[in-house]
Amino acid sequence: MPPRALEPAGVALVDKPSGPSSFAVVAHIRRMTGARTGHAGTLDPFASGLLLLLSGRATRLAPWLVGLDKRYLTEIDLTARTSTGDPEGEVTARSAAPSEPALAERLERLRGDVELPIPAASAVKIGGERAYRLARRGIEVEMPVRRSTVRSLDLIAYTGERVTLDLLVSSGTYVRAIAEALGGHCVALRRTEVGPFSVADAVSPEAFAPERLLSAEAVLERLEARGVPRP
């Protein structure tokens, strides 16, 4: 297979809809540009929101983008846990939703530096095999714990069964793990920011055009404004 083109080069801000995989969106953008295309972090199929896709020569910027903080808006059902921590899994346990004071206590324990088990339905390798593949076969394993930083965790709404949260977290944080720590599962998840980049500036995969690519220089300027040193 011939190598992918290095032009057009730049970073695409794409608003992924709920449903398709991130890799399907990457493939769509690749077909539109004809260039080498990568990403700076994926989203689960059920999730929506901001993807940073790197085109052509801009794929070299990946190391400076994958570690950026991320902001999410999520709705969590506090009355049920699922096998995947999201609506795609089977319900494994049901419980009464916490009172507002009890919920406030749980949220407070999740602010700052936290250690949470990685969800079983994740791409982390356990004994050389992806965890989600083991989970699909019904193989239960002890998932490793990951240390994350929850920089902010704001309660937007609480219905008595479902809570809506706005979170700013360090890279690699599983919002599904936070939902499980609260006793429930994510029913909706939307990524609204990656570092200095906002979903408000993104377009749908169908509306993307190569001329919408941010130049490498523009991307580096935004990173510098956030204190990320220029490569």
Q: Which domains does the chain have, with CATH numbers?
A: 10-68+195-225 (3.30.2350.10), 70-193 (3.30.2350.10)
Place of tokens 């609204």: 192
CA distance 222 to 189: 25
Asked if residue 126 lies in contact with residue 119, where contact means CB atoms within 8 angstroms, the answer is no
Asked if residue 14 lies in contact with residue 29, where contact means CB atoms within 8 angstroms, the answer is yes
Asked if residue 170 lies in contact with residue 23, where contact means CB atoms within 8 angstroms, the answer is no
Asked if residue 59 lies in contact with residue 84, where contact means CB atoms within 8 angstroms, the answer is no
Q: Please indicate whether residue 127 or residue 210 has the higher confidence score (pLDDT).
A: 210
Query: What's the pTM?
Result: 0.91
CA distance 188 to 80: 14
**Average pLDDT for 52-72:** 95
CA angle 53, 55, 61 (to 5 degrees): 75
pLDDT tens-digit profile of 92-109?
999 999 999 999 999 999
Query: Above pLDDT 90, what percent of the chain?
Result: 76
Q: Please indicate whether residue 229 or residue 213 has the higher confidence score (pLDDT).
A: 213
Reported as a pLDDT band with limits 50, 70 and 90, residue 122 is low
In angstroms, the first-to-last Cα distance of the chain is 30
**Average pLDDT for 145-159:** 94
Summarize the chain as % helix, strand, coil (round to 5). 30, 35, 35
**Average pLDDT for 12-26:** 95
**Average pLDDT for 189-207:** 97
Q: What phi, psi does 119 have (nearest 5°)?
A: -60, 145
Active site residues: 44
Q: Tell me which amino acid residue 185 is.
A: H
pLDDT for 124 equals: 57
Coil/strand/helix, residue 229: coil
Q: Please indicate whether residue 128 or residue 163 has the higher confidence score (pLDDT).
A: 163
